[in-house]
């Protein structure tokens, strides 16, 4: 399978980062979103991030210019049907992802590979709603995509070997490292990371420590680059809650029960950095703990 044209569904935090790294790796990229403003903002952000890489001598100015030329946008989802590989990077809700794939299927080339950047949802179940479960995989990038080196590759029960090899080759061309995960809830990274974050929230909820003391303890006591509550704000508390619910529902184990405080923050709309309030308040420009 030759992959040269890549379609990306979603121009948000993950989608624009995925477009960035594919364009730098000489792929032709077509990005779609239901919101034209989101597409415009994504292009502007990609350009700023590429400029940052130029300033750090990570890429040349000509590489930046050529990468920007390779990225196209469209508000029409079905325009992606002409691409060789599609990466869905929409909101972490199964109903939304399923609807996207069902809309795409009638417009795809026969050999187009479908993938999802989902961080937790069953690849087998998503694949079963398409006409090509054997050409469907999980393609999970870490955030921020241009910086993080890992990509989780997740096979569904029907994924065939040529599809896996094609996606593995793409990861190598991107200059990243792949880890192969089985199709169980939250795969590898989030199966381990999210319960840690959830336990940190329980530690806050039970009054064992404050936001600042918990984050300081993990940064200095476990050598983590970010504290777990700071990291939760960066990821998005709604995303953390969604993944914990997938783990709890999918594995039926009470150890994955989302902390009530996490649920409360999401109900309040305090989702972290993207809403300017979470475990920290970012509205003043300097993060201030909210508890």
Q: Is 143 annotated as a binding residue?
A: yes
Active site residue 190: yes
Q: List per-residue pLDDT tens for the chain, 291 residues long.
A: 789 999 999 999 899 999 999 999 999 999 999 999 999 999 999 999 999 999 999 999 999 999 999 999 999 999 999 999 999 999 888 999 999 999 999 999 999 999 999 988 999 999 999 999 999 999 999 989 999 999 999 999 999 999 999 999 999 999 999 999 999 999 999 999 999 999 999 999 999 999 999 999 999 999 999 999 999 999 999 999 999 999 999 999 999 999 999 999 999 999 999 999 999 999 999 999 999
Rounded distance between C-alpha atoms, residue 273 and residue 236, angstroms: 7
Using CA atoms, how far residue 286 sits from 65, 230, 234, in Å, is 34, 13, 14
Active site residue 248: no
Q: How large is the angle between the packed helices 237-251 and 260-267, nearest 10 degrees?
A: 130
Place of tokens 């390779």: 70
Q: Residues 152, 178, 198, 230: which is the catalytic one? A: 152
Strand ranges inside 98-246, DSSP E: 113-116, 136-141, 150-155, 177-181
Q: Residues 49, 116, 117, 119: which is the catalytic one? A: 119
Residue 130: helix, strand or coil by DSSP? Answer: coil
Q: The whole model's pTM is what?
A: 0.89
| Structure letter (DSSP) for residue 35 | -
Q: Is 15 annotated as a binding residue?
A: yes
Q: Is 33 annotated as a binding residue?
A: yes
Q: Residues 120, 190, 198, 230: which is the catalytic one? A: 190
Active site residue 107: no
- Is there a contact between 138 and 154 (Cβ–Cβ < 8 Å)? yes
Q: Is 92 annotated as a binding residue?
A: yes
Q: Is 10 annotated as a binding residue?
A: yes
Q: Residues 20, 94, 120, 140: which is the catalytic one? A: 140
């Amino acid at each position: 399978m030759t992959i040269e044209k890549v379609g990306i569904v979603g121009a948000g935090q993950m989608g624009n980062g995925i477009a960035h790294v594919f364009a730098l790796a000489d792929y032709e990229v077509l990005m779609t979103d239901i919101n034209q403003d989101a597409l415009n903002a994504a292009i502007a952000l990609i350009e700023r991030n590429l400029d940052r890489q130029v300033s750090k001598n990570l890429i040349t100015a000509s590489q930046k210019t050529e990468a920007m030329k390779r990225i196209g946008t469209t508000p029409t989802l079905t325009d992606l049907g002409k691409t060789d590989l599609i990466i869905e990077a929409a909101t972490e809700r199964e109903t939304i992802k399923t609807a996207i794939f069902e809309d795409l299927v009638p417009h795809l080339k026969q050999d187009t590979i479908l993938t999802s950047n989902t961080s937790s949802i069953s690849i087998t179940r998503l694949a079963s709603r398409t006409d090509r479960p054997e050409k469907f995989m999980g393609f999970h990038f870490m955030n921020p995509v241009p910086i993080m080196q890992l990509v989780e590759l997740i096979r569904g029960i029907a994924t065939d070997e040529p599809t896996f090899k094609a996606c593995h080759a793409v990861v190598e061309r991107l200059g990243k490292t792949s880890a192969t995960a089985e199709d169980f809830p939250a795969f590898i990274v989030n199966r381990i990371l999210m319960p840690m974050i959830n336990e940190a929230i329980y530690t806050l909820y039970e009054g064992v420590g404050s936001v600042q003391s918990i984050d300081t303890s993990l940064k200095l006591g476990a050598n983590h680059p970010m504290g777990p509550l700071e990291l939760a704000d960066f990821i998005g508390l709604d995303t953390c809650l969604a993944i914990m619910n997938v783990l709890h529902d999918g594995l039926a184990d009470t150890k994955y029960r989302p902390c009530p405080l996490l649920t409360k923050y999401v109900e309040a709309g305090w989702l972290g950095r993207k809403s300017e309030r979470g475990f920290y308040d970012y509205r003043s420009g300097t993060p201030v703990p909210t508890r």
